[in-house]
């Protein structure tokens, strides 16, 4: 799947051209890499999970405010409908190791997919091997919260004669450029690799804390 995300200023409807878009999702079998102890996903103490960066990426927008990613459709997992997380950073600096530091989060959200598309995807390999329960969009509380104010579902077009050939998908984020939103990542990526955030949502969940929403793995040294 090629995913294009356009970032525009909600006040002017003009493209935002100084942004970085950070996305992350589960892989095609519903597993998150880059975080350890995610509930229901593999061995909770497997530190090898922190070494993975699959399905996590940061791209700058172009002169039209568009960031483009080559990725795959995420797989579903227990308790959530299929989704991709996204953060838009303004004023961030690109480091030599292709991570970003600094700046501020002007948008934190998730994007979703048409239910009929998800039904079709879950009938083909490797999505049809996932043992975790499928949760429809309309039973996902975060999807329902997002859809009351916006349209969080991507548009898409198949690139071949069948779904397995892939697709091109796109969505527009209208952001408040003055926002400075708090981000509590599940883990950090450092020069030494992945490090769990002890006050992040997954760590709190595993300790029985409230946790709140899931934050991303922010690029750069923290």
Please, how many CA atoms are within 13 Å of residue 36, restricted to the half-sphere of its CB? 16
Tell me how far apart the alpha carbons of residues 191 and 218 are, in angstroms, rounded to a whole number.
13
The predicted structure's pLDDT at residue 208? 67
> pLDDT of 93-143, one tens digit each?
998 888 898 999 999 999 999 999 999 999 999 999 999 999 999 999 999
Query: Distance between alpha carbon 15 and the CA centroid of its chain, in Å?
Result: 21
| Per-residue pLDDT, 42 | 66
pLDDT of residue 40: 66
pLDDT at 157: 98
Nearest of 103, 143, 111 to residue 16 by alpha carbon: 103
Q: Is 178 left (phi over 0), alpha (psi -120 to 50) or beta?
A: alpha
Confidence (pLDDT) at 116: 97
The helix (H) or strand (E) run that includes residue 167 is: strand 167-175
Contact in structure between 68 and 2 (CB atoms under 8 Å): yes
pTM higher than the cut 0.85:
yes
What are the residue ranges in the chain where pLDDT is below 50? 210-222
Residues near 125 by Cβ (< 8 Å), separated by ≥ 6?
Answer: none
43 Cβ partners below 8 Å, 6+ apart? none
- Count Cβ atoms within 10 A of the Cβ of residue 165 and give its class: 0-12 exposed, 13-18 middle, 19 or more buried: exposed
- Spatial distance between the Cα atoms of 67 and 84, rounded to a whole number of angstroms: 15
Strand order in the sheet with 66-70: 66-70, 2-9, 167-175, 155-158
Select from 49, 33, 30, 44 the least CA-distant residue to 132. Answer: 30
Domains defined along the chain, listed by start:
2-73+84-110+152-206 (2.60.130)
Q: What pLDDT does 38 receive?
A: 77
């Amino acid at each position: 799947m090629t995913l294009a995300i356009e970032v525009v200023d909600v006040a002017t409807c003009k493209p935002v051209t100084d942004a970085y878009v950070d996305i992350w999702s589960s892989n095609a079998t519903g597993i998150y890499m880059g975080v350890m102890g995610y509930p229901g996903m593999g061995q909770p103490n497997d530190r090898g999970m922190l070494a993975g960066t699959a399905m996590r990426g940061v791209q700058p927008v172009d002169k039209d405010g568009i960031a483009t990613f080559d990725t795959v459709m995420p797989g579903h997992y227990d308790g959530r409908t299929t989704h991709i997380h996204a953060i838009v950073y303004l004023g961030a600096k690109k480091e030599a190791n292709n991570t970003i530091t600094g700046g501020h989060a002007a948008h934190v959200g998730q994007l979703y997919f048409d239910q009929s598309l998800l039904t079709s995807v879950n009938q083909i390999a490797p999505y049809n091997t996932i043992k975790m329960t499928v949760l429809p969009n309309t039973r996902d509380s975060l999807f329902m919260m997002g859809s009351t104010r916006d349209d969080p579902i991507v548009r898409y077009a198949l690139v071949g004669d069948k779904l397995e050939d892939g697709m091109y998908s796109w969505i527009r984020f209208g952001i408040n450029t003055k926002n400075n939103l708090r981000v509590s990542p599940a883990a950090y990526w450092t020069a030494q690799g992945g490090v769990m955030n002890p006050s992040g949502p997954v760590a709190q969940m595993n300790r029985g804390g409230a946790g709140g929403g899931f934050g991303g793995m922010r690029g750069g040294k923290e």
